[in-house]
Structure 1
């Protein structure tokens, strides 16, 4: 049996990457709209209602417009924008959270997590549930990501040598400094925390790969948990997961002369969690591909679950 799949927003970064995944599949028929008609409501409606699975790879407002066009009860929708991530009518597409996998399997509306939110939630939620972190702990975190996370405009900017030189783009840049990053609502909603984290994203001049870092101070934790305690909780939580791996404690062997390598999970759907610590200082770092587990790979993983087939089909671990 072939499933019909339509990517609404097929010319953007996420949509193109989804096409790349689906091109390997013999069980998928990709429906392709004429590029000149991709903004025509009648033409879009035809494709949206013909498909078994629709990927929405659109800005928030356009995603809402597409939803209004879907009338078919058989059409299942996977949204990659931020607009429905905290909507109770949509399931959050992070299967590695406890009990979430079954909810995704049985859903017709799934929202793919934001790239920064993915590593943060998978790091924090297990620790809150285990009582290692209290719900009102003042969490700070920062994320270093490649420029592909900024979409087509960001890619064009960073791959233009003249612009890189003129704007000094070879130097990493902090952004969203007013604490208004669009991933913060879901980071709060699904982490189990009572208050928003203080989140600083940093964009750097390399294409892809993301590292989310969460520092903790054990003397402010309710159980004065050590780095080793944190590692044990995370390792136990994800011990049976295919795509989330908790690396050996204090993993010096995985460093390059003591330096962390961000892009080692590129072109995979794998997310690796590291725990480092000294005295009462703890550093948790998750690394993954912002285009893989942080976007398109996660979208395909959710599609597989919703279709009732092998979760890892066409994905690289």
Structure 2
């Protein structure tokens, strides 16, 4: 019997990419609302109660409302918004970090944010291993394709070809910071500098480290070895060789959907500094791909089924 699946917010960017990854998959029966029903609370409530699993691709407040509408049902929920990422009772949907069993047994799963996916993959294992201090004032420089900003930002970039670069979050306090701090086990929220470029998809997350100034003066090869150990055997996360350091990293306007995550440790020649760099698709492992991965795990299916790898 097919698993009944409802995507609340299926017409948005994340919802559309989830549906693309589900094409041809007979394991699921997709519950679909027409344009009029999508905004009808009663129709949404019925679908949320009828589904075995619901994926929420909604703004934060709408996601909270959807959880309210699902109250009383046994429906399992994957929330792609940031509404529940540090909420009590929700499992953080990063299986490589929290464990696949935790996702498999959860009823409520909150997808990680796109930027936090890169940051946490780089930093959390190293803090846990005692190689990086939990009380260091970390900084994060990151750039994303404009699709991460939703339909409004997509329309703005595509209507104005003169935009070359957009820095934002200048007042600090970005909504991704709570999960970045909590799941990396940090004493302080990092200073986060996000930006957007005129490419539809793609993301680079860069954490610079003054190794010689850190407590214990960790070596780049030790950081690299710890990341390799954390993600050994992963079908989605890869750790690039420590050497040679790549001359450049590119985000391409022509990039196609990709659900992987590539991690790099780039040390200086004298070993006194390093940059930890994550490369991913903000719509892939940063959103829709992660939702499908969690869906597969929750349903007891191979986690990479339907993913673009």
Superposition pairs for residues 205-220 of structure 1, below 5 Å? Answer: 205-220=198-213
Residue in structure 2 matched with residue 268 of structure 1 by the alignment: 258
Per the normalisation by structure 1, the TM-score is 0.93
- Asked if the contact 2:199/2:251 (under 8 Å) is kept, the reply is no
Q: Is the 8 A contact 1:6 1:51 kept in 2?
A: yes
1:164 aligns with 2:161: yes
Of 62-71 and 201-210, more deviation after overlay is shown by 62-71
Cα distance in structure 2, aligned partners of 1:6 and 1:73: 13
Aligned equivalents of 1:238 and 1:223: distance in 2?
24
Give the TM-score normalised by the residue count of structure 2: 0.95
Residue 298 of structure 2 aligns to a residue whose secondary structure is: helix
Task: Report whether the alignment pairs 1:127 with 2:126.
Answer: yes
Cα deviations across residues 169-214 of structure 1 (Å, max 9, x unaligned)?
1x21211011121101100010111110000001001110000000
Question: What secondary structure, in the 3-state scheme, does the structure 2 residue paired with 1:54 have?
Answer: strand
Tell me, yes or no, if structure 1 residue 316 matches structure 2 residue 305: no
Equivalent residue pairs, number: 306
Q: Is residue 269–residue 297 contact of structure 1 (8 Å, CA) maintained in 2?
A: yes
Q: Is residue 2:293 matched to residue 1:301?
A: yes
Any gaps of 5 or more consecutive residues in structure 1?
none
RMSD, aligned α-carbons:
1.4
Tell me if the contact between 2:201 and 2:255 (Cα under 8 Å) persists in the aligned partners: no
How many Å apart are 1:32 and its aligned residue?
A: 0.6
Q: How does 1:216-231 map to 2 (within 5 A)?
A: 216-231=209-224
| Superposed displacement of residue 250, structure 1 | 3.1
Q: Say if 1:266 and 1:288, in contact at 8 Å, map to a contact too.
A: no
Answer with 279-288 or 243-252: which moved more: 243-252
- What residue is the counterpart of 2:174 in the other structure? 181
For 2:78 and 2:45, how far apart are their aligned partners in 1?
Answer: 16
Contact 1:5 1:54 in 2 (8 A): yes
Q: In the alignment, what sits opposite 1:105?
A: 104
- Secondary structure of the residue aligned to 2:96 is coil
State the Cα distance separating 1:109 from its structure 2 match.
Answer: 0.3
What SS is found at the alignment partner of 1:159?
helix
CA change 1:251–1:243 in 2 (3 A) is: farther
Partner of 1:146: 145
Which residue is equivalent to 1:190? 183
Q: Secondary structure at the match of 1:242?
A: coil
Deviations 1:136-178 (A, max 9, x none): 0110011111011111111111112xx233xxx1x21211011
Partner of 2:60: 60
The yes-or-no answer on 1:237 pairing with 2:230 is yes
* CA distance in 2: counterparts of 1:137 and 1:101, whole angstroms: 29
